[in-house]
């Protein structure tokens, strides 16, 4: 199959959209369908990954065989082996009779393993054996059985990161990812959002026997800019609410904003939010505090390093004595621990703070109330940083990628901070 009728595939499977990323994913699925290659579909929750598994099955030679979709994250760890591979009578409490597993009953067909990243490590080892040589063993049995099943897997998590954390087998990752297919989230599909809106509006118009809702040009632009963390599922729910709750059939930007959560108002994650956005939003003042606190911490550490070098040298002691304002705070913490020198004329003068008229004025964003340094300064900085990380995670529903973007740091740095502060 060298060419693919993408529009024909869309019509057959009810897929709406014309974005290049979507067309590429459809073309790739159609090209790999006639083979028996294992496929790994990646994409965010609600982006339509299961539709691609059906394309692969229906366009393959197995289309007359059985197709089973299994959510690995919804099956308890204690029973998933039995569900997938079957069990013998008496193999565990409640096993009153032998039972065939999905890999046995789907022989000759296709199994779609959704959320495969949630599969326990023990089950992953069993799955790898099936993929390698088509063999499996029922729970409670020692007899090896054969099956001819095509596996299509899907996940909304980064499996490479799961491999690094020891939560997913590396050999299984490369075996599943023979052919990877990326399903783009709704925010990466541009004007497809408007096509889907009209489709859903027509569907709900027929369902509820009302005129379909439609968007003004300004409302349409607002909808395209929205980030849609819930993807197609969220858009469908939004259109249903508008169809049922709004008396006016023409939807304006003002009306639309009432139904759009504020934490997804743009397809570009915002680093700065207005101060009146509530506890889940970051204000300019919060971010500026973070920058200033980080700078202050770095300067204090540098002062401490220079002070430690100078205090071990007589000439250095003279520098400290002549310029006590340079080591304000640092000297006062260390002076009690330092042995009394023989030459009393070299004793340090008490560290003093600059007078109010000597202090520099900070004019960034008109912040006037920068907290004074205290003995618990470093603890307060860590508390502030941990608090901001927690707020970013809550705001983005524990999705580290977007939390890192909101904080203006890399995802790797965020992961290190989460581990450092023992954030669950």
Kindly state the helix (H) or strand (E) to which residue 240 belongs, with its residue range: helix 231-245
* CA 305 to each of CA 16, 156, 322, 335: distance values in angstroms, whole numbers, following the listed order: 62, 46, 18, 15
Query: CB neighbours of 407 closer than 8 A, spacing ≥ 6?
Result: 388, 389, 392, 414
> Shortest CA distance to 147 belongs to which of 164, 134, 165, 129?
134
Alpha-carbon gap, residue 85 to 75, rounded angstroms: 13
Share of the chain above pLDDT 70, in %: 73
**366-389 pLDDT tens trace:** 434 444 444 455 556 677 888 888
Rounded distance between C-alpha atoms, residue 30 and residue 45, angstroms? 22
Helix (H) or strand (E) holding 112: strand 110-114
For residue 154, the cross-strand partners are: 41
Half-sphere exposure of 349 (CA within 13 A, CB side): 13
Query: What is residue 395's predicted lDDT score, i.e. its pLDDT?
Result: 87
CB 32 within 8 A of CB 179: yes
Residue 217: enclosing H or E segment and its boundaries?
A: helix 217-225
Q: Which helix (H) or strand (E) holds 153?
A: strand 150-155
- Provide the pLDDT for residue 293: 61
What is the pLDDT, as a whole number, of residue 274?
43
Distance from C-alpha of 410 to C-alpha of 50, rounded to nearest angstrom = 31
> How many other CB atoms sit within 10 Å of the CB of residue 112?
24
Exposed/middle/buried for residue 57 (C-beta within 10 Å: 0-12, 13-18, 19+): buried
The domain defined by 6-184 folds into Rossmann fold (3.40.50)
Which residues lie closer than 8 Å to 14 by C-beta, 6 or more apart? 51
Helix, strand, or coil here: 215? strand
DSSP-derived secondary structure letter, 108: T
Q: What is the DSSP letter of 86?
A: -
Please report the pLDDT score of residue 420 as a whole number.
83
Q: What are phi and psi of 144, to 5 degrees?
A: -80, 130
Domain boundaries, the chain: 6-184, 190-264, 284-420
Q: Residue 48: which residues within 8 A CB-CB, separation 6 or more? A: 15, 183, 231, 232
Give the tokens for residue 38: 């294992």
Q: Quick check: pTM over 0.75?
A: no
CATH of 190-264, one of 3.20.20.70, 1.10.150.20, 1.10.8.60, 2.30.30.100: 1.10.8.60
Strand pairing report for 144-146 and 135-137: antiparallel
pLDDT at 273: 40
| 213 Cα distance to chain centroid | 33
Maximum mean pLDDT: which of 175-179, 264-268, 307-311: 175-179
Angle at CA 99, nearest 5°, toward 97 and 103?
A: 170
pLDDT in tens, 101-136: 999 999 999 999 999 999 999 999 999 999 999 999
- Please state, as a whole number, how many other Cβ atoms lie within 10 Å of the Cβ of residue 184: 21
CB 196 within 8 A of CB 17: yes
Could you give the CA distance from residue 394 to residue 417 in angstroms, rounded to a whole number? 15
Q: What's the rounded Cα separation, in Å, for the pair 136 and 145? A: 5
Would you say residue 347 has pLDDT above 70? no
pLDDT value, residue 388? 85
Tokens 């959002």, residue?
A: 193
């Amino acid at each position: 199959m060298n060419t693919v009728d993408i529009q024909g595939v869309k019509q057959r499977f009810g897929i709406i959209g014309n974005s290049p990323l979507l067309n590429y994913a459809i073309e790739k699925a159609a090209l790999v369908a006639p083979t028996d290659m294992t496929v790994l579909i990646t994409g965010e929750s609600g982006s339509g990954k299961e539709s691609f598994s059906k394309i692969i099955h229906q366009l393959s030679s197995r289309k007359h065989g059985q197709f089973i979709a299994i959510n690995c994250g919804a099956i308890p760890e204690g029973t998933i082996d039995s569900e997938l591979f079957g069990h013998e009578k008496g193999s565990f409490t409640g096993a009153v009779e032998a039972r065939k597993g999905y890999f046995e009953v789907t022989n000759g067909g296709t199994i779609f393993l959704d959320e495969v990243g949630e599969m326990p490590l023990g089950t992953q080892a069993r799955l790898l054996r099936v993929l390698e040589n088509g063999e499996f063993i029922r729970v409670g049995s020692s007899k090896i059985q054969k099956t001819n099943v095509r596996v299509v897997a899907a996940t909304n998590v980064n499996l490479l990161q799961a491999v690094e954390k020891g939560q997913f087998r590396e050999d299984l990752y490369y075996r599943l990812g023979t052919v990877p297919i990326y399903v783009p989230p709704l925010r990466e599909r541009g004007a497809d959002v408007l096509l889907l809106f009209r489709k859903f509006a027509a569907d709900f118009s027929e369902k509820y026997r009302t005129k379909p809702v439609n968007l003004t040009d300004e409302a349409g632009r607002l909808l395209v800019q929205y980030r849609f963390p819930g993807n197609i599922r969220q858009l469908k729910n939004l259109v249903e609410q508008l169809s049922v709750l709004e008396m006016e059939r023409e939807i304006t930007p003002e009306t639309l904003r009432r139904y759009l959560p504020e934490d997804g108002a743009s397809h570009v994650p915002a680093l700065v939010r207005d101060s009146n956005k509530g506890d889940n939003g970051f204000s300019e003042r919060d971010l500026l505090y973070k920058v200033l606190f980080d700078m202050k911490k770095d300067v204090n550490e540098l002062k401490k390093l220079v002070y430690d070098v100078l205090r071990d040298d007589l000439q250095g002691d003279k520098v400290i004595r002549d310029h006590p304002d340079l080591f304000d705070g640092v000297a006062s913490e260390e002076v009690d621990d330092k042995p009394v020198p023989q030459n009393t004329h070299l004793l340090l003068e008490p560290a003093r703070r600059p007078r109010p008229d000597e202090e520099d004025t900070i004019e960034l964003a008109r912040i006037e109330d920068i907290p004074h340094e205290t003995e618990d300064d470093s603890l307060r900085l860590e508390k502030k940083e941990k608090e901001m990380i927690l707020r970013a995670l809550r705001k983005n529903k524990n999705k580290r990628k977007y939390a890192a973007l909101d904080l203006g740091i890399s995802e790797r740095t965020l992961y290190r901070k989460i581990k450092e502060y023992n954030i669950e």
